[in-house]
Amino acid sequence: MKVIPTALPGVLEIEPIVHHDARGFFLETYRADRYRQAGIDVTFVQSNHSRSAKGTLRGLHWQDPPHAQAKLIRVVVGEVFDVAVDVRPASPTFGRWVGVTVSAANFRQLFIPTGFAHGFCVLSDVAELEYQCSDVYDATSERGVRWNDPDLAIEWPVASPIISERDRNHPAFGELKRQPSRD
């Protein structure tokens, strides 16, 4: 596999080796020893699967300690624009974001370490994501920040996304800047 660093340290794009032949394809979507060698030394304990229609935007979400989650995202159907935002107040890249197109066709994955918000928007008619998490979902640790916050200035490739009421009502990034760090 090829590991491609992004503009945010720790957020990695992963390009697996895909074996194609007349029958179709085969790839390893995760192998602990190889990921460890690539610097991803995380034990995944929960697996999630989501399906969303074109134009849907989910995020931006993360969990604070003690249930902070690293995530390994892959798309099994369709295509998404996947975003990670550094929400660690003490980080030199606090408030910076990176976006990557992940699709069933390109087989790429995105590794998002703890301390980063995650969100995505669907570019294809439908998209299905599978992602591994390093801790279980815990509602009391869940946090969010507004997807269209002008301080973040994320360049989402959808003009009028389909978005949940919960995601629409997340606090502004400026409110996050005023909160003490939980790291």
Q: Which residues are catalytic?
A: 61, 131
Classify 139 as helix, strand or coil: coil
Tokens of 96: 């910076």
Tokens of 54: 């074109």
CB-based contacts of 70: which residues, under 8 Å, 6+ apart? 42, 111, 112, 113, 114, 133, 134
Nearest to 69 by CA among 130, 152, 132: 132
Dihedral sign of CA atoms 96, 55, 122, 71 in order = positive
